[in-house]
Structure 1
Amino acid sequence: MKTIVIVNPQAGNGRTEKIWPNIESALEKSIGSFEVLQTTCRGDATDLSRRILAVDTVRIVAVGGDGHLNEVLNGFIENDLPVNPEARLSFVMTGTGCDFQRSLGISGKWQNAAAKLKDAKVRKIDVGKVTYTAADKTQKIRYFDNIASFGLSGAVDHCLEHSRLRNYLGGSPLFLWATIKTVFTHPNQSIRFRINDGPEEEICSRLGLLANGRYFGGAMHAAPEAELDDGLLDLLMLKEISVAKFLWHLPKIYKGTHLKIPEIFFQKVRKFTAESSEQVILDIDGESPGYLAATFEVLPKILNLQI
């Protein structure tokens, strides 16, 4: 099967462009020959992968961060169906968070992911779907491989997008700084929700997430029981909580030992709908495309992941 590598040279604050010759050499040793395409703007990776898969059955390797992998993934699926059912997706993570690969037991170094591709097996995994409200108030759809969330996490995205510290910090320290900074200004918000088309409920929450993978926010072990192929999303909502208590529990979230604290609402779901009279920001695989109201669903075993 032909291999095409789609690279985001700007991933990791431009670091990917600098180390690309090393990555290219490592990939040649692992998987042999391949074609290289580079993105130049947001949305490129989705357009490139979709055009490729419409005419050819290939393996696409995404080289970049979690957001870049998400863009490539969105080229694999259209109208809740695979664009090419036999195509395969692989990745080498070079971004700031590199959270999705942690769910697969791969450490943060890109060299480990590149080497693993040599004998990579194919497994079918679930993909999440979010129908959300864009800034222009229209309804849009985005698919996700890892975690979609709302509230504090979306506000953290906005904080990072405008921070110069991105040029000096990376990975976990950057996300930890942004989380602590943002929690002092981001309030608990009133959320109306339904689980699996059940009755409407209401919660005052600082953060909610729907997890396919286990890690987000630069190594937070947010969903320790999530499985990539169980046909379910792990729903976690942080109930009304003070800043002091949130900071007290934050180390537990990094360790994945937080599910039993009283302030956590946890349930495995197939569908979750949420809305609010307040502006609640979304985060989808590390990017912030819109707001609640939103519906989160799972598409079981729709993606061929080769890693």
Structure 2
Amino acid sequence: MKLFIFIVNQKAGNGKGLKVWNKLKQELEKKKIDYRSFFTKYPNHATDLARQIGSMFEDKVEAVVAVGGDGTINEVVNGMVYYPKIKVGYIPAGSGNDFSRGFNVPKSPIDALSFILRNKASKGKWFDIGKCKVRGKSNSSYFVSSLGTGFDAAVSKLTNESKMKKYLNKIHMGSLAYVGALIRLLFTYRLTNVSLHIDGKDYQYENVWFVTVSNQPFYGGGMKIAPKANTMDGFFDITVVHNLSRIKLLFVFVTVFSGAHTKFKEIAQHKGANIKIESDEKILVHADGELIGQTPIQVEVQHRKLPFMVK
């Protein structure tokens, strides 16, 4: 009988990861499930663990399940991408949990676990993921939900460094940390010009706030940046926010939670499978909320690359 492997980020959600794992462990032992667990101890440790598990136990593992936030599932996918025979599961224990929104994972950790256990015989759902390569790095990396350049990457950086995020996570309002960082940068961020190369076509934009490449609708803790994004269609939804005043940008962010921001003329949208983003000035790049470098960056769809245990 194949076993389940759990990769647990105890520090996710300011300690929520450990609390969630303790509940999951009780449930697993009550149901007498054959499992092993590993705890992350440093950045990208989940990637290292997933890669080791895949190389050593590819035919003995039912699924590798990430317990943590969006950064944890990102790391696990970066390790599992080489071992598509193994299904990937996710149990939300972070502050943003955009992966759970976009990939239809139950919000309750126990419900998410129950779903995985009930469907262990299934082959999983094969979803698209993104492959990206940034300036100055020899190796490519992968993302599951979204990639962003510019203002939103700067906001992600400030959010992850914020002491307020830890407090807000404790009272289950972690998404407000992103809003706070956004307001702090709103009046100081410098705009730049951006060139996009999408499936053989070129686009030029001036005074760009940010560009997002989305595999699913949500990012930034529930913002519906790409309402029509589909995780199985072989394309990314690209959103460009440009030529906006600072005050109007703030209004756009208010509307983005419902997806109504797409009505603004300053919001350009594209679909594509192969994208290159260049900018006049180097700007930060994030993948699933984690900083990975600066522009220029090359992005491509990996169509139905991995099997996920989701509804």
TM-score by length of 2: 0.90
Cα pair distance change 1:116/1:185, threshold 3 Å: farther
Cα pair distance change 1:277/1:249, threshold 3 Å: closer
Displacement of 1:157 in angstroms is: 1.9
Q: How does 1:1-307 map to 2 (within 5 A)?
A: 1-28=2-29, 32-57=33-58, 58=61, 59-77=63-81, 83-106=82-105, 108-120=107-119, 121=122, 122-133=124-135, 137-170=136-169, 171-199=174-202, 201-307=204-310
Is the CA contact (8 Å cut-off) linking 1:63 and 1:93 kept in structure 2? yes
Displacement of 1:268 in angstroms is: 1.0
Is the CA contact (8 Å cut-off) linking 1:31 and 1:118 kept in structure 2? no
In structure 1, give the amino acid aligned to 2:240. Answer: M
Displacement of 1:101 in angstroms is: 0.8
The range that moved more, 27-36 or 252-261, is 27-36
Distance in 2 between residues matched to 1:66 and 1:148, nearest whole Å: 12
Is the CA contact (8 Å cut-off) linking 1:149 and 1:284 kept in structure 2? yes
Cα pair distance change 1:117/1:27, threshold 3 Å: farther
**Per the alignment, in what secondary structure is the counterpart of residue 259 of structure 1?**
helix
Displacement of 1:139 in angstroms is: 4.2
**Per the alignment, in what secondary structure is the counterpart of residue 296 of structure 1?**
strand
Distance in 1 between residues matched to 2:67 and 2:187, nearest whole Å: 35
Unaligned runs of 5+ in 1: 78-82
Could you say which residue in structure 2 is the equivalent of 1:80? Answer: none
TM-score by length of 1: 0.91
Displacement of 1:30 in angstroms is: 7.2
How large is the RMSD of aligned CA atoms in angstroms?
1.8
Unaligned runs of 5+ in 2: none
Distance in 2 between residues matched to 1:188 and 1:116, nearest whole Å: 45
The range that moved more, 67-76 or 245-254, is 245-254
Is the CA contact (8 Å cut-off) linking 1:249 and 1:258 kept in structure 2? yes
Give me the identity figure in percent.
29
**Per the alignment, in what secondary structure is the counterpart of residue 62 of structure 1?**
strand
Count of equivalent residues = 299
**Per the alignment, in what secondary structure is the counterpart of residue 71 of structure 1?**
helix
Displacement of 1:191 in angstroms is: 0.9
Displacement of 1:29 in angstroms is: 5.9
Distance in 2 between residues matched to 1:250 and 1:202, nearest whole Å: 20
In structure 2, give the amino acid aligned to 1:124. Answer: W
**Per the alignment, in what secondary structure is the counterpart of residue 143 of structure 1?**
strand
